[in-house]
Structure 1
Amino acid sequence: MRAIYFSQGTAVTVDQPNPEPGPGEALVRVLSAGVCNTDIELFNGYYGFAGVPGHEFVGRIARSPDDPALEGVRVVADINCGCGACRFCLAGNRRHCAARQVIGIKGRPGAFAEYLCVPAANLHPVPDALDDREAVFAEPLAAALEIGQQIHIGSNDTVAVLGDGKLGLLCALGLRPLNPGLLLIGRHEAKLALAAAQGVRTLYCPAGKEDAVLPRLRGFFDLAIEATGRPEGLAQAIELTRPEGTVALKTTSRLPLTLNLAKVVVDEINLIGSRCGDMALALDTLANGRLDVRPLIQAVYPFSEFARAFAAARAPGALKVLLDFGG
């Protein structure tokens, strides 16, 4: 099979044998995959990554030795693969298993390949109502919706999402049903327009103009969601949060962070990390049309044109770039 291999800032296409599913695993043929900012960070040296990336994908089960009835089923995957025996795994919380592997990120090859093996317990059938390109969004949408599982968001709360990148847009679109007044703050008018077209309130804050735009909102929000992916994003989110309010952190950066936490202490602000979420909830949200992810797709490339696709995904301001594996 063909696969993309990242190592030390390079991406090369390699030919490898098809992987063999181990006990409890299924072999999945990839149909479509999305390029995520995490993939770009891994390419740039995050985690010292070397291997096959890709964790946003939809595929079809090609082989399932333990349950042949699953063969042919279209699926997406929870990317966290736990040991199955620790207290977190036994509580159904694989994402915090100390020995976990993470598809395309840590210890397990990803979906920028024609085939990959996935624990069957991690697979979720895709509703027929969703096409492949929509289903690819299940993983990042699950991460966005996780905030609503961690924090009670009232319909009258003041909520801001900082950052109009791919994840910020999904946070705004996904959480708006819980809070119709949610405000998306971003640097890109075209991206903000995509959210506004689906009813999201937006605020344009150009790069370098934060001091002119944000001070009037200081201390206003019950909940500020940091989705900028920039080192200064957390400090901005804290400044916008009221005393005893909450900041939810959705993005990480390989760049160093210097932060004055005095306001967090004095104003008793809650900081909550938020990572992966419920894939079944994301699939249900997509299938029932509670948001439309199709406008977030910038381009679709055949897998054979990965270099072009990855260059497009790395361009400043890029939306979602998808890889099409055919059939």
Structure 2
Amino acid sequence: MKAVYVEDSYSVVVKDIEKPEIKPDEVLIKVKVAGICGSDIHTYKGLHPFRKPPVIIGHEVAGEIVQVGEAVTKFKVGDRVTVEPQVGCGKCEYCLRGEVNYCADRKAPGVGGWYGTMAEYFAAPEVTVFKLPDDMSYEQGVLVEPFAVGVHAVRKAGIQVGDKVAVLGAGPIGLLAMAAAKAAGATTILVTDVMDYALESAGRMGATHTLNITNKQEWMDEAKALVGGEFDKVLIAAGVPNIIDQSLRLLRRGGRMVTIAMFHGNQTFDIHNLQNQEKEIVGCMTYTREDTITAIDLLGAGAVNEEVLVTHKLPYEQAAEGFRLVDKKEDSSLKVLVTF
């Protein structure tokens, strides 16, 4: 089969490899669509903490089951599915509580012997597989995983009806987090970025306010003026220097920020602004099964305008171009999909 490799930093190639053989508890999925995620770009740049080149890249997927293992009971050949791409040990206290994302032995595609999703076929344990609604396209189905990230972040933030929310970063994850915040009841949502086209897309997807922060040192005051006060919650979807301290300046007393982005290097902030005003900084790691189910339901209900979010669909032979588009933000790219 054909598979897309990040061969080395900034090097994407297509290779011929053996089709994976499934275990008794696995299904084999004929991949229709795979997505390029921001974390895939970290691998592409050689910066990812655990997914290192050379690797079959990808963890977002939608496709059709073509083979089931003998122990599989919930799926059959022909089912249209997506995957929650993480598996825990199943025995630790976190797994037993349904918190697979906390498991110290959590496995993910592109790590160890588990191939990534950007290939003609992808093997996945039955416990990670979810059926797509009959009226959901593969292009929508491949958004389940990144949307689950946004759903989980909104849960961690405790966003509720009437909240004022700032989303920092208008890449695909930021836009999906924004959509999840809107679905949770946030009535005022400001999105920041340095790209006007991304902010325009945020507006089309439901942001009430947008702000280009290019070359603005005191953009936090402008952001608060736009919405008439401080924010209840801040979702950080851009891992840039000083963003923790800037987020603290956006928050009301007792407000909460959630870090979604991958960070490189240290962040510094004013501890007095955190402690004296009882603000909170909350970490966020992937999602739970509950988040994935909610993401499917919300996508089916039209919570995400995928026609705005998905800007490019390329055949797998052009995967290298797709990675370049996302990395360089060329051609007004947001979500780039690779098709098989």
- TM-score under structure 2 normalisation? 0.89
Q: What is the CA-CA distance between 1:235 and the residue it aligns to?
A: 2.3
Match of 1:265 among 255, 258, 275: 275
Q: What is the CA-CA distance between 1:229 and the residue it aligns to?
A: 2.8
Superposed counterparts of 1:37-48, under 5 Å: 37-45=38-46, 46-47=48-49
Residue in 1 aligned with 2:22?
21
Q: Which runs of 5+ in 2 are unaligned?
A: none
Counting matched residue pairs gives 323
Residue in 2 aligned with 1:301?
314
Match of 2:143 among 134, 137, 140: 137
Q: Per the alignment, in what secondary structure is the counterpart of residue 101 of structure 1? A: coil
Residue in 1 aligned with 2:8?
8
Q: What is the CA-CA distance between 1:321 and the residue it aligns to?
A: 0.7
Q: What is the CA-CA distance between 1:197 and the residue it aligns to?
A: 2.4
Residue in 2 aligned with 1:310?
323
- Higher mean C-alpha deviation, range 177-186 or range 218-227: 218-227
Match of 1:225 among 235, 241, 258: 235
Q: Give the Cα separation in 2 of the matches to 1:115 and 1:223.
A: 40
Superposed counterparts of 1:38-77, under 5 Å: 38-45=39-46, 46-47=48-49, 49-50=52-53, 51-65=55-69, 66-67=71-72, 69-77=75-83
Superposed counterparts of 1:86-101, under 5 Å: 86-101=92-107
Q: Give the Cα separation in 2 of the matches to 1:241 and 1:205.
A: 19
Contact 1:227–1:233 (8 Å) recurs in 2: no
Q: Does structure 1 residue 237 correspond to structure 2 residue 247? A: yes
- Higher mean C-alpha deviation, range 64-73 or range 139-148: 64-73
Q: Give the Cα separation in 2 of the matches to 1:286 and 1:127.
A: 10
Residue in 2 aligned with 1:199?
206
Q: 1:280 to 1:61 in 2, by over 3 A?
A: same
Q: Does structure 1 residue 30 correspond to structure 2 residue 37? A: no
Match of 1:285 among 295, 298, 313: 298
Q: Give the Cα separation in 1 of the matches to 2:188 and 2:335.
A: 25
Q: Which amino acid aligns with 2:339?
A: D
Q: What is the CA-CA distance between 1:185 and the residue it aligns to?
A: 2.2
Contact 1:58–1:74 (8 Å) recurs in 2: yes
Match of 2:178 among 172, 181, 195: 172
Q: What is the CA-CA distance between 1:8 and the residue it aligns to?
A: 3.3
- Higher mean C-alpha deviation, range 178-187 or range 214-223: 214-223
Residue in 2 aligned with 1:323?
338
Q: Does structure 1 residue 208 correspond to structure 2 residue 215? A: yes
Q: Which amino acid aligns with 2:296?
A: L
Q: Give the Cα separation in 2 of the matches to 1:70 and 1:100.
A: 26
Contact 1:134–1:294 (8 Å) recurs in 2: no
Contact 2:58–2:116 (8 Å) recurs in 1: yes
Q: What is the CA-CA distance between 1:283 and the residue it aligns to?
A: 0.9
Provide, for residues 217-268 of structure 1, a one-character-per-residue CA deviation record: whole Å limited to 9, x for no partner: 3981111111123233222212211222101111112x31231341223322
Q: Which amino acid aligns with 2:203?
A: A
Q: What is the CA-CA distance between 1:154 and the residue it aligns to?
A: 2.7
**Quick one: percent identity of the two aligned structures?**
28
Q: Which runs of 5+ in 1 are unaligned?
A: none
Q: What is the CA-CA distance between 1:151 and the residue it aligns to?
A: 3.5
Provide, for residues 303-326 of structure 1, a one-character-per-residue CA deviation record: whole Å limited to 9, x for no partner: 12212222222222630111110x
Q: Give the Cα separation in 2 of the matches to 1:107 and 1:221.
A: 44
Provide, for residues 75-95 of structure 1, a one-character-per-residue CA deviation record: whole Å limited to 9, x for no partner: 111111111121111222211
Contact 1:134–1:293 (8 Å) recurs in 2: yes
Q: 1:148 to 1:309 in 2, by over 3 A?
A: closer
Q: 1:138 to 1:225 in 2, by over 3 A?
A: same
Q: 1:223 to 1:37 in 2, by over 3 A?
A: same
Q: Per the alignment, in what secondary structure is the counterpart of residue 293 of structure 2? A: helix
Q: Give the Cα separation in 2 of the matches to 1:196 and 1:273.
A: 27
Contact 1:76–1:136 (8 Å) recurs in 2: yes
